[in-house]
Structure 1
Amino acid sequence: MLEPAPFHANLAQGPEGSRAYWLHAADGVRIRVGVFACEQARGTVLLFPGRTEYVEKYGRTAADFVARGYTVLAIDWRGQGLADRLLHNDRIGHVDHFTDFQKDVDAALHAAVTLNLPRPWHLMAHSMGGAIGLRAAMRGIAVASAVFTGPMWGIQISALMRPAAWALSWGGAKVGLGHKIAPGTKSDSYVASEPFEGNTLTTDREMFEYMRAQVLAEPSLQLGGPSLRWLNEALADCRTLAGRASPDLPCLTFVGSNERIVDTDRIRDRMAHWPGGRLELIAGGEHEVLMEGPQVRAHIADSAVALFDAARGHDGNGTAISA
Structure 2
Amino acid sequence: MTGAAPFHADLAEGPEGGHAVWLRTHDGVRIRLGIWPAGPKGRVLIFPGRTEYIEKYGRVAQDLAQAGYGSVAVDWRGQGLADRLTPDPMLGHVGRFSDYQHDVAAVLAHLDAAEPGMPRFLLAHSMGGCIGLRALVDGRIAPRAAAFSAPMWGIRFSPGMRQIARLMSGAARLTGRGQQYTPSTRSESHILATPFADNFLTGDEAAYAWMQAHLHKVPALGLGGPGLHWLGLAIAEGRALEGAPLPDLPVLCLLGSRESIVDPAAIHRLAARWPSARLQMLNGAAHELLMEQKALRDAALQSVLDLFDSAA
Cα deviation code 1:115-149 (max 9, x no counterpart): 21772101110000010000001112121110000
Alignment of 1:1-323 (within 5 A): 2-38=2-38, 40-116=39-115, 119-140=118-139, 141-312=141-312
CA distance in 1, matches of 2:121, 2:4: 24
The answer to whether the Cα contact below 8 Å between 2:2 and 2:24 also exists between their aligned partners in 1 is no
Q: CA, structure 1 residues 282+117, in 2 after alignment: closer, same or farther (shift >3 Å)?
A: farther
Show the counterpart of 1:317.
Answer: none
Cα deviation code 1:13-45 (max 9, x no counterpart): 11111000000110000000101114x521110
The answer to whether the Cα contact below 8 Å between 2:34 and 2:72 also exists between their aligned partners in 1 is yes
The answer to whether the Cα contact below 8 Å between 1:71 and 1:118 also exists between their aligned partners in 2 is no
| Pairwise CA distance, 1:162 | 1.3
CA distance in 2, matches of 1:46, 1:256: 22
Cα deviation code 1:296-315 (max 9, x no counterpart): 22222222122112223xxx
CA distance in 2, matches of 1:167, 1:188: 25
Cα deviation code 1:199-221 (max 9, x no counterpart): 11000001001100001110000
**Paired residue type of 1:88:** P
The answer to whether the Cα contact below 8 Å between 1:43 and 1:118 also exists between their aligned partners in 2 is no
CA distance in 1, matches of 2:259, 2:265: 11
Q: Which runs of 4+ in 1 moved over 3 A?
A: none
Q: Which has the higher contact order (CA 8 A, sep 6+)?
A: 1
The answer to whether the Cα contact below 8 Å between 1:130 and 1:153 also exists between their aligned partners in 2 is yes
CA distance in 2, matches of 1:18, 1:81: 17
CA distance in 2, matches of 1:13, 1:35: 13
SS in structure 2 at match of 1:71: strand
TM-score with structure 1 length normalisation?
0.94
- The count of residues paired between Structure 1 and Structure 2 equals 311
Gaps of 5+ in 2: none
Aligned Cα root-mean-square deviation (Å): 1.2
TM-score with structure 2 length normalisation?
0.97
Gaps of 5+ in 1: 313-323
CA distance in 1, matches of 2:217, 2:157: 33
Q: Percent identity?
A: 48
CA distance in 2, matches of 1:20, 1:12: 12
SS in structure 2 at match of 1:197: helix
